[in-house]
Structures are given as C-alpha cells and as structure tokens.
Amino acid sequence: MRKLLALLLMMTFGIMAFAFTPTTMIASGSGVNFTEHSWIYNNGYMDDMRIYQNEKGFHGQKLVTGTRGSGIVSRTIDAEVYGGYGTADDGVDYNSMEVSEWGVFQYKPYTPPTTQSDLRNALCAKNYQVGSVYSESYSNIRDLIKDTTAMQDNNASVYSAHSEVEGTAKIGARVQRSSSSVPAYYMSGTYMGYTNMHLSIETVGNGSVLTLPCP
C-alpha cells in the first residue's frame, strides 16, 4: 500500500528520475570518451531527443531519451559514455555508460505569438580531428541572452552554452569518431516560447578526420 501511494504521488506531481548504472562489457571499436551536463527550463513547446551508444549493433550499451509536447518542463541530464578502451595486457576493450535524468513536467497549452520577428542568430562549431559538432540557432527572437564557449584542439572538444531566449531555439550536437563508427552521441532539440538552458559537452580522444554536417 505504501509503495502504491508513493507511486501515485510521483505521478501527481509529474516528477521523473531514472539512472542507467554503468556496466562493463568486452567489445571492439575505436575509443570514445564523452560527457554531458545539461539543464533546461522551457515554458512553451519542446521536441528533443538524445541517443547514447558506444558500439555498433548488439554490442555495448544504448540509451535513448526524449521529450515532446507543450507545457512547463524543468529537466537535468548528466551522462558519461566510454567505449573502446582497454589495456595492453588483456588486449580487449571495455564499454560503460552512466546516464541520469531528473525532471518536472506539467502540461500547459502553448499558443504561438501572433507577431513574428525577423531577428535571428546562429552558431556552428566543428572539430574534424575529434569528430564532434555543436550548433545552435535562434529565430523569431523577441529576447535573447546567450553565452557560448567552444574550446577545441586535436585531442578534445568542449562546448559550453548558456542561453535565455523568448522565441524559437534549435540545438544540435553529434559525436562520431569516424565514418565507419556509430555516433556515440546525437542530440537534436527545438524549443519554442521561453527557454533557459545550460549545456556542457566534452569529448576527449582524437580519431579519423570526419565531415560532420551541422544538425
């Protein structure tokens, strides 16, 4: 009875949290070292999705998460993805993944504003050596405050974004070591209305030169 009451309370207040605990498996592939820390508050409409994986096919670990609809959303995601790393002694690769998501979701109808704005802003950053890309664009801007930092070299990419916008925001990111590997991370999101977001993505380890289109 107590467990049922606790479940009903969580459903009433719209609080969701889950954790995917790390596991270790033997597989093969190029190394991946990726971390993400993000927080978003959206009052309006949002449609986003994230895919995490460290190997092709049935190897390694996979996780997909997303949110779509109108309302008020406050959500935090922390992720660490490792794959293709091993030691010279055993000659094998180890994969592990840890993803946690916490959020509060409340339904609220969203009505787009009747007046449109032609003010736009966009940014795209790529690191061909590491195999990472980050992009952000804003349209129909009524108000925008943004602080985006990109730090890149041949061994690492770090993208840090903090944006507060009233309008439409589109964020995309991709981490893929080579054309023959699967994306370790893929993220695409559209946010309308009022949005306040913090996003930090870090990729370590060089790989094959790869052409990455902006999402």
Strand extents, DSSP E, the chain:
15-20, 25-27, 32-53, 62-86, 93-107, 121-127, 132-152, 156-175, 185-204
The tokens of 141 are what?
A: 């801007």
Nearest 5°: the CA angle 84, 89, 92 is 30
**What are the φ and ψ backbone dihedral angles of 201, each rounded to 5 degrees?**
-125, 130
At residue 88 the predicted structure's pLDDT band, cuts being 50, 70 and 90, is: very low
Cα(124)–Cα(136) distance, integer angstroms: 6
Question: What's the pLDDT score for residue 10?
Answer: 41
Cα(87)–Cα(20) distance, integer angstroms: 25
Question: What's the pLDDT score for residue 32?
Answer: 67
pLDDT of 2 above 60:
no
**What are the φ and ψ backbone dihedral angles of 143, each rounded to 5 degrees?**
-150, 140
pLDDT, one tens digit per residue, over 4-52 is 434 333 433 444 444 443 333 333 344 568 899 999 999 999 999 999 9
Nearest to 137 by CA among 127, 125, 152: 125
Nearest to 164 by CA among 195, 186, 189: 195
Question: What's the pLDDT score for residue 89?
Answer: 53
Cα(37)–Cα(193) distance, integer angstroms: 23
pLDDT, one tens digit per residue, over 138-196 is 999 999 999 999 999 988 999 999 999 999 999 999 998 877 788 899 999 999 999 99
29 vs 100, residue with greater confidence: 100
Contact by Cβ (8 Å): 145, 121: no
| H-run or E-run covering 12 | helix 2-13
Ranges of each domain in the chain: 2-204
Question: What's the pLDDT score for residue 106?
Answer: 98
DSSP at 182: P
Contact by Cβ (8 Å): 202, 34: yes
Comparing 128-132, 200-204, 205-209, which segment has the lowest mean pLDDT? 205-209
Question: What's the pLDDT score for residue 15?
Answer: 42
Question: What's the pLDDT score for residue 215?
Answer: 82
Question: What's the pLDDT score for residue 26?
Answer: 32
pLDDT of 86 above 60:
no
Question: What's the pLDDT score for residue 35?
Answer: 94
pLDDT of 60 above 60:
yes
